[in-house]
Structure 1
Amino acid sequence: MVEFLSYFCMVVGLVFWFWGTWPLLGPRSVLFKLHTLSVADILGSIAIVFGLLLKIPKELPLLLLALLSLAIWNTILGYVLAYCARRSINQ
């Protein structure tokens, strides 16, 4: 059961990655595209790391550090990219 849940989380993570990439092809604004991509990327990455945590629980400290780093890094990177995109649009 844990094995199935682990693979399910990893597949959900991959679905989030592709779901966030798909709007890049649309005609929406750059900020909308960046927001969609960053949210889907962080959710997908967290789902994949959680699936790995279920698969190899002895690596708990390392995978928790990875989850924390993903949450902080992706959030800050999303804000920086949005700020740069907004600034280049206004010039």
Structure 2
Amino acid sequence: MISILSNICIIVGIVFWFWGTSHLLGKRSLLFKLHSLSVADTLGSMSIVVGLLLKIPSKWPLLLLAIISLAIWNTVLGYVLAYCSSTEGRYE
């Protein structure tokens, strides 16, 4: 049962990755595309790490650290990318 749940988490993570990437092909604004990609990438990566946590419970400290790092890193990276893409952050 744990193996099936782990595989489901990993598959859901991969689906989130592709779903977030598919928004890059749309005609929406750059900030919308970046937001969609960063949210989907964060959720997908966390889901994959949770799937790995279910498969390898003995490595829980490292995998928990990976989840926390993903949450912090992707949030900060999203703010940096949004700032760099805004007109206020550019020198012209």
Aligned positions of 1:42-61 closer than 5 A: 42-61=42-61
State the percentage of identical aligned residues: 67
**In the TM superposition, what is the alpha-carbon distance from 1:39 to its structure 2 partner?**
0.2
- In structure 2, the partner of 1:75 is 75
- In structure 2, the partner of 1:27 is 27
* Structure 2 unmatched runs, 5+: none
Number of positions where the alignment pairs a residue of Structure 1 with one of Structure 2: 91
Give the aligned residue type for 1:5.
Answer: L
Give the aligned residue type for 2:44.
Answer: G
Residues 15-46 of structure 1: CA deviation (Å, up to 9, x unaligned): 00000000101110000000000000000000
- In structure 2, the partner of 1:6 is 6
- In structure 2, the partner of 1:17 is 17
* Structure 1 unmatched runs, 5+: none
CA distance in structure 1 between the aligned counterparts of 2:74 and 2:89, rounded to whole angstroms: 22
TM-score normalised according to structure 2 size: 0.94
- In structure 1, the partner of 2:84 is 84
CA distance in structure 1 between the aligned counterparts of 2:88 and 2:29, rounded to whole angstroms: 13
